[in-house]
Structure 1
Amino acid sequence: MDIKKHIDKLCQQALSASRHSGTYDSKIKNSVLRSISKNLDINFNKIIKSNLIDIRNASKKNLKDSLIDRLVLNKERILSMQEGLHQIIKISDTLYKTSKGVKQDNGIIVKQMRVPLGVIGMIYESRPNVTIDSAALCIKSGNSVILRGGSESMNSNKALMKCIDNAFKKNKFHQHMVQLIETTDRSAVTHLLTKNQYIDVIIPRGGKGLIEKIVSCSKIPTIKHLDGNCHVYIDKTADAKKAFDISINSKTQRYGVCNAMETLLIHKSFPKKHITKILNKYKEIGVEIRGCKNLIKISSDIILAKETDWFEEYLSPIIAIKVVDSIDDAINHIGKYGSLHTDAIIASDKTMINKFKRLVNSSSVMINTSTRFADGFEYGLGAEIGISTDKLHVRGPVGFEGLTNLKYIVSSQGKLKN
């Protein structure tokens, strides 16, 4: 296969498909999404069989446990994909609808219309669920998308892509609105990143190394987050039960995800007996604790944290914990070491809460809430195509609206510029 010619063809087909997206109303798009959901049921056994091949291959290659965890498909995760599809169906379709409009003093009427971004390139590791989530959001938002999953999930992605293709055929939907790059040759990605005449945005999802490489090589704008070094800060005014429950859930509910807490910050005035209870629970579960000198005074069997630990996204049962002098100390720590992803405060004092949410400049700030809720599905977006820690043009979980833009519609009764 000539990789460059193959990628060029996919890009040309995607651009052509995107120009037809305006011919599909919400009813047709929702019908496609329902068909995909139904096809996940019909092809369940084939999908699981393909996924097991990927899991076995990943184990043979000694991939990290966090990557293998993301790779796994089971009944629960397929049901979650289907629930995401049905949430996307329920999203109000605002494409091609115009604002009321304002008549200017010069006589022209100015309106705005919501439109798709165009062609999206999606590059991701593991996570075969991204194939369905990305396709569904792009279908609903009128974008065509070229998918390139990791080599470790290729069999799973092909099985899921068949569910999408069959849904397109049944509903007479443009076959090139969603395309999967089926080669594992890395040069396919390199060439894709040069196709700025066809592709409007690249969305990478995966490890920090992958995303940094894509950003440095891409001639196309990206929507991205590099890592998820998420923090929970326990204020001196925190309710002890909330502090315990949230600090445990944020870290241990699932380790290998970008919204899991990696660093716990605790105000020095928070009662030591409650700190000890949290530490003992981590030890009981099997979480390795790396703490500051003040924490070791509370529990001497803790590993002394190094400077690098405060930057680390562990994605494993390891946590860094620091005792801080004040909320300002906590905010400064997050500003220095954080990744602008998700950070939480546990407090009962409204002044402290307001200060934290104003000064912590992350894409999601959680108040007395687990960081694990930082997710497009949980936010009611149906699913997310990614999370952005950038400030242009979208921030946080990227759903339907984040895949659209606005254009101006200007009209008059033959007005001429003097």
Structure 2
Amino acid sequence: MSTTPGLSPAPAPTTAASLRHVLSHLVMPLLMCVGMGLAYLGAFHNPEPHQLKVAIVGSGPSAQVLAQSLEDKAGGDALDVRTVGSRGEAAGRLKDQAVFGAYVPGGERADGERPGRAEQSGRPELLVASAGSETSATAVEKVFTEVAASRGAPLKVTDVAGTASGDPTGQGLFFLLVAISIGSYASVAVLGAAGGALALWIRALLGLGTGLVVSLIGAVFAGPLFHLVDHDLAGVWAMAWLYSTGILWIGVALHTFLKRWTTLGVMVLFVMLNFTSSGGIFRPELQPGFFGALHAFWNGAGFVEGARSLVYFDGNGLGRYLLTLTLWALAGLVLLAAAWAAETRRRRTAEARAAELRAAAVLAASRVTARGVAAEEEMEEAVAV
């Protein structure tokens, strides 16, 4: 063991001290385990309808009675049933995502006119838009299959907004969100720790550049590699860049305050709460209220719903989702400003402390010098005597 001349070697840590060190670092992964379990199982373990919006096509008393009986049979607030005048109107509301299923009783004509006697025995039809959420479409189909069966008729299901050829389940955008998120929050550790010696504005620019690279990787996944989207790929890429940059800016700023706990912090924000509230697997109408509330303003939901809107629903509601992503990016800038202020204050405090230490060292040195001079003068006087 090498030692500094004149100094005793540092004592080796005891087993107890090493054990305490290891156990203190195990706290984070255990908290991650608890958090992931609470978030994922809480959000996904028991999907049940909650104010799931559906429609009955028809304007007469029979349609009103069917709507009311269906709502009563579902119980509680499981279904939100309304009536629409025609099949065409129902299809339009599905494409606007105002409803998630529309039941056309047997004999209803596409133009909404009263059917003739020959049409009275027509097959009932259910309109869905699986691009909005396959799980919601499946839940609606289950409800109306029972309705049709109770009337002794098989149910015809028509999808008015299908998914891209490379995304038959409609969940590809969710897994694209996962890939972009992991690339973003994993980069936070590098920019926050390894880049800690860099000025904060440089780290912020690196975050912007890293977000660009991550979003380009996501665009390759979404387009030429897996064909998750078949048009408007540039728009999806732009939203991915905005989304990724927001995560990176927030993460870099949080590292100033949280240090080694930053990993846990970004996982809570951008995995535990983000993936579960994004609507990529289950929409909020099939989740507990907490996650449904987060869906209204969380950044993952902004990306997934924005991409769905752009690719499948002619941009309906796109402005709202872009606003969500923009506000998260702006929150990142605000946090960066707070981090800059904190780092500036720490640096000035450290510089002031260093200046005090230097001044104290100079003063001590001058006192030692003065004592030495005085001692020499006393010695000279003694020799002279």
Q: Same fold (TM over 0.5)?
A: no
Larger Rg: 2
Q: Which has the higher helix share?
A: 2
Higher relative contact order (CA 8 A, sep 6+): 1
